[in-house]
Amino acid sequence: MRPGAAPPRPRGARRVRGTPGLWAACLFLGLIILAGIAPELLAPASPTETDVLRALRPPSAEHLLGTDANGRDVLSRIIHGARPSLLAGLGATALAVVGGTALGLLAALGGRVLDEIVMRLVDVVLSLPGMLLALLVLSVTGPGVGGTLLAIAAFSIPIYARLMRVQTMVIKRSEYVAAATSLGLGRPHIIVRHILPNAFAPLVVLATIGVGAALVAASSLSFLGFGPQPPDPEWGAMLSDGRDYFALAWWIAVFPGAAISLTVLSITVVGRRLQGRAEASAAPRPRGAGHAGLTAAPGPRSRSRHDERGGNRP
């Protein structure tokens, strides 16, 4: 470093200061998760207690986000509605990941005939509109939280199945899987110890982004009346209740819609960052590349080769 020059900032400090959007997304997600775990700590009032005398009151100091047509506090209902909304997004994504992992492994390890059958079924499901398939599932299961989870997972499973199949096809041709097979290890051992740990990482990154899409789908189904039934608060159902009063009381629909949008946006920001880090760690680094502006000192191997050429002879 030259005399009088300012010391360089650590790379970690530049990274932290350069991502305010990521920290804002993490902070907002932390509040939503806290609201889902312990809504009583944040909610100022009961989400189901009605008071007709306080119906359709605008945002004020007493009710920060106003009240709905039944006099219920909108802020309290949004806070309590975070739990079913998050459970729908996380639960549907978990079901889709489990089902997609099973189908992907079955297609990649079950032989050519089974691979063709499974992938053709996947193509058929992907050719159908997701919401239409969800409505078909709900017509069988009926409205409710369980039916919503199954409906969303039904059109999400093929996405994870395709990714798991591709990852498994690549990994099963790798050298360490061939070495494990030559040592006489059984297929279950190879799947659990070698294939799943290496193939599951891309699925986790995709599932992080998929939680936002599942949350939007769950809110859409609740908007249509297939989610949690009244008087239980849920963001999509609140949005549906407020559409009839939008000209008179805009806050009933705007604030639940903002909660959905900000939550999905925050999940997407975090998911994209995880995806970028995963792609950066998977990308091969150039040999001999170091930090910008710095020259790496020669290691023992490079010094020995230099000595062999006679560069350090006395």
289: pLDDT strictly greater than 50: no
Q: Decide: 133 and 191 in contact? Cβ < 8 Å.
A: no
Contacts of 180 (CB under 8 A, 6+ apart): 189, 190, 193, 194
Could you count the other beta carbons within 10 Å of the beta carbon of residue 134?
27
Q: Decide: 58 and 244 in contact? Cβ < 8 Å.
A: no
For residue 8, the model assigns a pLDDT of: 52
99-140 confidence digits (pLDDT tens): 999 999 999 998 899 999 999 999 999 999 999 999 999 999
Name the average pLDDT for the chain: 84
For residue 295, the model assigns a pLDDT of: 40
| CA-to-CA dists, residue 298 to 289, 303, 305, angstroms | 12, 6, 10
Q: How is residue 162 written in tokens? A: 């395709």
Comparing CA positions, the residue from 106, 69, 92 lying closest to residue 211 is 92
Alpha-carbon gap, residue 142 to 18, rounded angstroms? 48
90-99, 253-262, 292-301: least confidently modelled range? 292-301
Q: How is residue 223 written in tokens? A: 């908007």
Name the CATH architecture for the domain at 66-267.
Orthogonal Bundle (1.10)
For residue 19, the model assigns a pLDDT of: 82
149-158, 218-227, 234-243, 281-290: least confidently modelled range? 281-290
> Average pLDDT for residues 30-42, to the nearest whole number?
95
Q: Which of left, alpha, beta for 50 (phi over 0: left; psi -120 to 50: alpha)?
A: beta
Contacts of 200 (CB under 8 A, 6+ apart): 101
Alpha-carbon gap, residue 229 to 28, rounded angstroms? 27
DSSP readout, 23-37? Answer: HHHHHHHHHHHHHHH
Instruction: Pick the more confident residue, 217 or 282.
Output: 217
Alpha-carbon gap, residue 307 to 302, rounded angstroms? 9
Contacts of 31 (CB under 8 A, 6+ apart): 42
Ordered by start, the domain boundaries in the chain are: 66-267
Chain length of the chain: 314
